[in-house]
Structure 1
């Protein structure tokens, strides 16, 4: 994803202004969680709006407005002790002045409400992100504790998967919990798949060679730890990982066999 192009598209300004649909708001929010650059840009936009709102506050223009009222009422004499006679009747003056004051009050109220809404949105966004970060940290801690217990369990079988052919520099490790019928795949040694492609994990029996799909790793790019828990009720004799089109394949594409490892019978 071209983050800079996305930022320059103008959609973040529409998000802050509340002009997007619910679906679009959700998409922007998810990208804020995934990309710190987008989150920072949203916060800067919101801060700029608050600053701009403050810069046009009517409080700063009270002197000019007062001078305009005085000019309209004919109160422009240099001698402050001399009050010139009005040119129109007082009802007209007071009505006009009241209208100006009412407009100032309405503008000030609107400005304050808009600033309050913006502040609330910023706080809400920050709170939601903090809650998400806490949830992610908790999830990562639980995942780390689970992995530690797996690594220390003598009943867990470790199967190293070595790189194959043109992908000899790649590697992975499978930790097989036969009792729980699941594996933990450590895929840190695999590069990010190209767009439109996914990694697919296979359980193999060797004689005859029979592959059984254990599914695709659709969240490979977004998963920071690159450790995936996968169900496996098969009597596996080997494990392999291939690169397949999005959605997976019925049989492995051997030209894109990245890693392969045989289960040690001993």
Structure 2
């Protein structure tokens, strides 16, 4: 084989990486002594490995690589005997192994980053889905509220504030045909903890209150429009503040709003 055949065969790279048998390595070492171009090619391959290793220096010991390069530079200026060739081969094997380990670490780091990005994207997807559901719920609530307000069959009953809370107010949308009742409680303050607003349908003569519902989840309903039970022949409506769970009869001292149909 000619020197060019050795260079193009790929055996020199295998020689540098220590993948040839002992006899094959000895053969190439002998040929390198005879042919300068083969020896130069081996040196070029070794330098390439050192340069690659050095490019990853933030992850490796700078001191160790400087020692390796110093020894290699010292050998390049002399005739390379067989034993020195083996030492050089050993150093380059270490460098090649270091490059391989760094490459694996780099790929592992990238894999972790990719997995974290996938988790982040999935989290954002869940948030967007939740936001979409909330938007749809709010849209339906708005449509329901508009339907109640615009229904010409509803009688609007204004409930004014009473002694316990003169500034409070509310509205009742009452369909006398279907007996359906909606309460707009936007004018009521937040109920204290452990308390709940209770809605009463009243008959006036004699005064007979009938509970038609509690305004539960008051703070969670931003529109404060509540559907309560039907009111059969109601002549007035009132809202009182009661203990959680409601009361059998209204606490008149806690009457917040009252209005006649």
Short-chain TM bin:
0.5 to 0.7
Superposition pairs of residues 42-191 of structure 1, within 5 angstroms: 62-68=56-62, 71=64, 74-77=67-70, 81-83=73-75, 94=93, 98=97, 101-102=100-101, 104=102, 107-191=105-189
How far apart are residue 135 of structure 1 and its match? 3.0
Q: Is the 8 A contact 1:158 1:175 kept in 2?
A: yes
The residue matched to 1:137 in structure 2 has which SS?
helix
Q: 1:118 to 1:141 in 2, by over 3 A?
A: same
- CA distance in structure 1 between the partners assigned to 2:91 and 2:106 by the alignment: 24
User: Structure 2, unaligned stretches of length 5 or more?
Assistant: 1-54, 77-83
- CA distance in structure 1 between the partners assigned to 2:257 and 2:201 by the alignment: 12
Q: Is the 8 A contact 1:211 1:252 kept in 2?
A: yes
Query: Do structure 1's residue 203 and structure 2's residue 197 form an aligned pair?
Result: no
- CA distance in structure 2 between the partners assigned to 1:222 and 1:122 by the alignment: 29
How far apart are residue 138 of structure 1 and its match? 3.1
- CA distance in structure 2 between the partners assigned to 1:251 and 1:107 by the alignment: 74
- CA distance in structure 1 between the partners assigned to 2:75 and 2:244 by the alignment: 84
Task: For residues 144-195 of structure 1, give each alpha carbon's deviation from its aligned partner in whole angstroms, at most 9, with x where no partner exists.
Answer: 3333333333211111111110201000001012444422211111111222
User: Structure 1, unaligned stretches of length 5 or more?
Assistant: 1-60
The residue matched to 1:119 in structure 2 has which SS?
helix
- CA distance in structure 2 between the partners assigned to 1:255 and 1:117 by the alignment: 62
Aligned to 1:254: 252
- CA distance in structure 2 between the partners assigned to 1:91 and 1:247 by the alignment: 84
Task: For residues 17-43 of structure 1, give each alpha carbon's deviation from its aligned partner in whole angstroms, at most 9, with x where no partner exists.
Answer: xxxxxxxxxxxxxxxxxxxxxxxxxxx
Q: What number of residue pairs does the alignment pair up?
A: 200
Q: Is the 8 A contact 1:198 1:246 kept in 2?
A: yes
Q: 1:249 to 1:116 in 2, by over 3 A?
A: farther
- CA distance in structure 1 between the partners assigned to 2:91 and 2:180 by the alignment: 86
TM-score (norm 2): 0.62
Q: Is the 8 A contact 2:169 2:185 kept in 1?
A: yes
TM-score (norm 1): 0.61
Deviates more, 1:107-116 or 1:240-249: 107-116
